[in-house]
Amino acid sequence: MPATPSTTPKAGASATLEMVAARAGVARQTVSNAINSPELLRPQTLERVQRAIDELGYRPHRAAQALRTRASKLIGYGIRSSQAGVPTPVLDQFLHSLSEAADQAGYRVVLFAVTPGDDELTGYQQLLDEHGADGFVLSGTDRGDRRQGWLHERGVPFVAFGRTWSGRDVGDWVDVDGAAGTSAAVRHLAALGHRKIGFLGWPKGSGVGDDRARGWQSTMRELGLPTRGRRVESPDDPASAAEAAERLLAGGVTAVVAASDTLALGWYQALRHGGRTPGADAAVIGFDDSPIAPLLFPSLSSLAQPLDAVGRECMRLLLNRLSDTRRRTEHVLLAPELVLRESV
């Protein structure tokens, strides 16, 4: 029911979203929709909410501007917490590229902290409510990711660095073709004469990891090379990867494609435990071409993601979506570059 005169909040600079909802006699989500997705509301409801906003002087940062023009010039990017002590150079480089592309288009990227799980969507809702964000950029997409569907259902523009692994086509995305990268790595190792090529990957179930494993497996079969017993799995840390790599070495594997540079470090450790030298005695190609790759001894060959292009493409797709929310979804898949060093 609409708020009664005795409970109607007074206007003032400290007006909140809840006070607007009480004044208009609607739910908090309805006020949020009026600010961020007015097309979802009936004209009468939208007019009542707008009147309450004006009467209370509700101005949470850029929300009022977003209500009138739908252009706060702010793009939200949720930062997920990483494992303690584990650097994220890929995301750091991507974020720098994205911010540059946003600046050139007259936008600013706003970072906010999110915790994966049931409360992850709260940060996205708050940025819509309190800052009137025009759209969002996502990263770290995976199976079961709720963010893409949640934003799509609310008509909020977004683009993802990473595919919609659930199979639902709910938004624009840009991704790096992991399968193409590991395929190129296998072909290079095979051209060097290796026939026993293993794959050191993450546990099955992650979209990115499974995609990289698929490139290795399909190319091995295409080249007539055996795959049975030559794929091992490990969490993304060198110590665990070294234990998994020992099993590949025991099976006579002479070269390995790793799903990340971190896993490739496990291959280095396993070789050295056996008194062997990476590259000279057994080859390895990592993935991501992290800053440490050229500094290792011997230097690590790796697949470099075209992160500058990813950032530019993400911003291009998001700007297109902001200008036309009804356009068909667009997907961009970019190939990584094989950077060869001493480890092969």
Q: What is the pLDDT of residue 134?
A: 92
pLDDT tens digits, one per residue of 297-319 = 999 999 999 999 999 999 999 99
- Greatest alpha-carbon span in the chain: 84
The reported pLDDT for the residue numbered 85 is: 43
Q: b or e along 273-299 (b: 16 or more beta carbons within 10 Å of the residue's beta carbon)?
A: eeeeebbeebbbbbbbbbebbeebeeb
Neighbours of 16 (CB within 10 A): 16
pLDDT of res. 12: 45
281, β-bridge pairs: none
Instruction: For 82-111, write each residue's pLDDT tens digit.
Output: 654 444 667 888 999 999 999 999 999 999
Res 2: pLDDT: 41
End-to-end CA separation in angstroms for the chain: 72
Residue ranges of the chain that CATH labels 3.40.50.2300: 74-176+307-334, 178-304
Alpha-carbon distance of 207 to 339, in angstroms, equals 24
Q: Tell me, which fold does domain 17-59 have in CATH?
A: 434 Repressor (Amino-terminal Domain) (1.10.260)
**Topology (CATH level 3) of domain 74-176+307-334:** Rossmann fold (3.40.50)
Fold of 178-304: Rossmann fold (3.40.50)
Burial (CB count <10 Å: 0-12, 13-18, 19+), residue 53: buried
**Distance of alpha carbon 228 from alpha carbon 218, whole angstroms:** 13
Kindly report whether the global pTM for this prediction surpasses the value 0.85: no
Q: How far apart are CA 114 and CA 85, in angstroms?
A: 18
Which residue type, as a one-letter code, is found at position 223? L
Q: Report residues of the chain scoring pLDDT below 50.
A: 1-13, 61-69, 84-87
Beta strands in the chain (DSSP E): 74-80, 108-114, 135-139, 158-161, 172-176, 197-201, 231-233, 255-258, 283-287, 301-304, 331-334, 337-339
Residue 118's pLDDT is 60
Q: Where in the chain is the domain with CATH 1.10.260?
A: 17-59
The predicted pLDDT at position 132 comes to 82
